[in-house]
Structure 1
């Protein structure tokens, strides 16, 4: 049995196209793999606080030296890391906001990129500790950002997400982008159709 962590990060609720597409992927996956377990987290309904000075101090204190207060500060982060590590696959829906990601998902990244848990510092070098995990990002974008498009090179979203998760050791990272959703009905339908085609292809080969 495989455990899949499904996270939605759009604040828009059911109107969100990234949520809708991720739900379609998960539904199709469950038809093919009914024995798999799905862990679901909604960052709209359960937002993650941004890190504080106290949180950072606790994180960078060796575990054996942490005070009970520090351990309490990191308790929620530890639970998120445990949840992330327990899943062998992750389906993460992340809309593009201002060419990057919603602040709520950035907070999630901050809570799981943890020294001693998901990465280590060995002889002054960083080493990712997360192995054997597959991640699929499903995104929704208002415009086009691919090669030859008018906004080629403006996409900060995919590089930021790819780097953050590669940093902690994840090597199998894939993206399905729904592009052009704010460029009129024809472009929107084309962007959604292209994304759904890729979902159908990936769900049988992932």
Structure 2
């Protein structure tokens, strides 16, 4: 049975486009992959604290004495990394906040970036340990950052997520992008329409895609 982890990080609740897109991505994936088991994580509600001296405890040697605070923080980190490693597919809602991802999402990434769990260092450099997974990112942006070199240099959302998941050993990272959302109703409608096509492309099994293409033709 395929296990899918559905993650939202937007603080906008029902007004969030990234939440709308992740829900549609999960529904489309389940339609194309019956029997998928879904778990849900709302980082705007269950936000891990940012890294501190206490929450770095998981990086200490196994035989090191941990304080009570470190043990509590260890338990939080362990829960997040175990949930992540158990998933075959991870759907991530990632709005663009001030040219980067929400701090809530960054805090989660900091918890799962663990030596010996999601990556390791060797004499030839780092090696990702979370291989064989698919990540689908719902990318929501008020402006347009994909059509010029200058604009692309300003965004640290999609670029960062591709790098960090790649560092964990995940080579199958897909993006469902809706940008220009704050540039008028026509631009928003066009962005959402384009995102719907990407959702089908990135979630449906090949046979289902061929059938939809035949119907459209």
TM-score calculated relative to the size of structure 2:
0.88
| Unpaired segments ≥5 residues, structure 2 | 207-217
**What is the DSSP-based 3-state SS (H/G/I as helix, E as strand, rest coil) of the residue aligned with 1:64?**
coil
Contact residue 89 and residue 135 of structure 1 kept, 8 A: yes
- Counterpart Cα distance in 1 of 2:89 and 2:46: 21
- Report the more deviating stretch, 188-197 or 66-75: 66-75
Q: Does 1:138 align with 2:114?
A: no
1:153 deviates by 2.4
> Following superposition of structure 1 onto structure 2, how do residues 159-174 of structure 1 map, counting pairs within 5 Å?
159-174=159-174
Paired residues of 1:144 and 1:150 also in contact (CA < 8 A): no
Provide the C-alpha distance between the structure 2 equivalents of 1:73 and 1:194, rounded to a whole number of angstroms.
41
Q: What corresponds to 1:193 in structure 2?
A: 193
Q: Is the 1:9–1:105 Cα contact (8 Å) retained in structure 2?
A: yes
Structure 1 match to 2:61: 62
**Match status 1:97 vs 2:97:** yes
Distance 1:164 1:198 in 2: 22
Which has the larger displacement, 64-73 or 125-134? 64-73
Give the aligned CA root-mean-square deviation in angstroms.
Answer: 1.8
Partner of 1:46: 46
| Residues 53-99 of structure 1 deviation map (CA, whole Å, 9 limit, x = unaligned) | 2222x133112324363333211101110000000111101100111
What is the TM-score when the length of structure 1 is the normalising length? 0.93
Any idea what SS the aligned residue of 2:132 has?
coil
